[in-house]
Structure 1
């Protein structure tokens, strides 16, 4: 009881401020003792059932379905005839955190499972990664049917088909890396992000530093569409400041062509607190 209470107190102190990526958490319980896979799976499924009865879930479902339908409609307008009407949706989830010991992370995982079911995205077509996952948690995710990535991509995932990116309270660098990797008029419209509002990120950061360190988010703010998602007061620390973010082709085409020319990979040499765990490099 005390551990859970402490989690929520910490979350409340951060309310209204930019949260650090849950990827910075170190799994304590799971690393010290064997995780009960069956019990943890049941707890997650119970949480799914709990969320399904929440009124705000219907609003999330409508917003997600509307964004995906619009994305697929725009894709079909430009796709070859033999691909029309094909969903072929994928999902990528980064930064869930240690869901076996963190209440917030468990609720966020349950919401991911609800979204996958609502949009008929096969569980195997959802890839998940967080450096904080213990071996037991990776087994739980596989038991649920999800695909666990072996490599830390730092968010640099290329969307080759319509893809839902589920990034709850992740570090700004992860969002920035994802945008950089897909920085083209062809790739960005394939993406739907459910995660922290870009406008909210900017509001909580010094403008000069934000433009310097997170240039892709800075540029995306002017061309993306954000739909804020509702959050009940009792789950404010779990789902606050969450939006559905899309990239309409028409808006992207209004930017000068120079916007897309050889975008440099982000380096973050000025960031003392990067909010994500970077992959280990061979020395």
Structure 2
């Protein structure tokens, strides 16, 4: 079992949640060495040229919501995953377009030291895994593309009494209502289920560079009518490592 990831998989559980598929890029040594940082630099330039409208939309939200920091969870392997490269490239371009952002924090347990070093040129890499339980005290954009439901739920749980500070870019919560049973959502991700009717979802423009990078991705704002007096307010963030889930 992995011990340094967002989650662990229980040996007793037979069913595994599938991880998101990602085009694999050739590298010589993905664990210790990354020989292709120039590839990602080119991707960043490509996004700047071809997807300025996409990045501008996110920058407009940052401006309108007076967002001061970005927290990025689950960015993926930049050395081996093309989708992760595009998602990171968008984040870099958004930061360049949003000078009001004071801090951008990134964490993914799968990142190698070479990838962390590259990312550190643009933003701060968190040293420890907080299980998506970071509590924020200023207007914050959580950038979590294709994360698992439990990762989103932990973000909500950690900030349940102050969702006014939170904006989230990730999988549509409305799609969970359409494709999951009510009982399973209440049991597994009660915060998502409870706040969905108080969540405003806004579609993103078409991402030109690659059609699979931001599919089912929306910008979510949490309205003031969220029931912050619910039974979830005083609970601690769930320890995802005990839930037998994987990043997907």
Q: Answer yes or no: same fold by TM over 0.5.
A: yes
Q: Does 1:91 align with 2:70?
A: yes
Contact 1:227–1:244 (CA under 8 A) maintained in structure 2: yes
List gaps (5 residues or longer) in structure 2: 1-16
Contact 1:91–1:121 (CA under 8 A) maintained in structure 2: no
Report the equivalent of 1:136: 114
* Aligned counterparts, 1:163-202, within 5 A: 163-184=140-161, 187-202=162-177
Q: Measure, in 2, the Cα distance between the counterparts of 1:145 and 1:203.
A: 37
* Length, aligned pairs only: 229
Q: Measure, in 2, the Cα distance between the counterparts of 1:93 and 1:256.
A: 24
Check 1:227–1:29 CA distance in 2 against 1; reply closer, same or farther (3 A cut): farther
List gaps (5 residues or longer) in structure 1: 1-17, 73-86, 278-283
Which of the pair has the greater relative contact order for Cα pairs under 8 Å at 6+ separation? 2
Q: CA deviation at 1:132?
A: 0.6
Bigger Cα Rg: 1
Q: Secondary structure at the match of 1:177?
A: helix
Q: Measure, in 1, the Cα distance between the counterparts of 2:18 and 2:49.
A: 27
Check 1:203–1:128 CA distance in 2 against 1; reply closer, same or farther (3 A cut): same
More helix per residue: 1
Check 1:54–1:222 CA distance in 2 against 1; reply closer, same or farther (3 A cut): same
Q: CA deviation at 1:216?
A: 0.4
Q: CA RMSD in A?
A: 3.0
Q: Measure, in 2, the Cα distance between the counterparts of 1:101 and 1:171.
A: 20
TM-score with structure 2 setting the length: 0.80
Contact 1:19–1:171 (CA under 8 A) maintained in structure 2: no
* Aligned counterparts, 1:140-151, within 5 A: 140-142=118-120, 144-151=121-128
Q: Does 1:153 align with 2:130?
A: yes
Check 1:169–1:256 CA distance in 2 against 1; reply closer, same or farther (3 A cut): closer
Q: CA deviation at 1:33?
A: 5.2
